[in-house]
């Protein structure tokens, strides 16, 4: 169950030897920065991350299954500041 005071951290592989992993990580990071810029106005990544710190957000996630194994990965689908 999700509560209003729940805290979460999200990380992305921005540098990775596997090109697919790196592209997925960079794409996810860009989506979060675009959502932050839409809510807070344009700014540097650092400025937008500072504004997101402590912000109340609504996220949608999905589980992605690795076709080569039984591993499942949490995938961020969207983020909006409420």
Domain boundaries in the chain?
19-81
Q: How confident is the model at residue 50, as a pLDDT?
A: 93
Average pLDDT over residues 48-55: 89
> Predicted confidence band at 40 (pLDDT cuts at 50, 70, 90)?
very high
Residue 73 DSSP symbol: E
* pLDDT value at 10 more than 70: yes
The predicted structure's pLDDT at residue 43: 94
């Amino acid at each position: 169950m999700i509560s209003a005071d729940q805290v979460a951290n999200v990380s992305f592989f921005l540098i990775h030897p596997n090109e697919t992993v790196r592209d997925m990580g960079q794409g996810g990071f860009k989506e979060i920065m675009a959502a932050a810029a839409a809510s807070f106005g344009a700014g540097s990544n650092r400025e937008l991350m500072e504004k997101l710190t402590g912000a109340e957000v609504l996220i949608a996630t999905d589980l992605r299954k690795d076709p080569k194994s039984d591993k499942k990965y949490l995938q961020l689908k969207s983020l909006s500041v409420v």
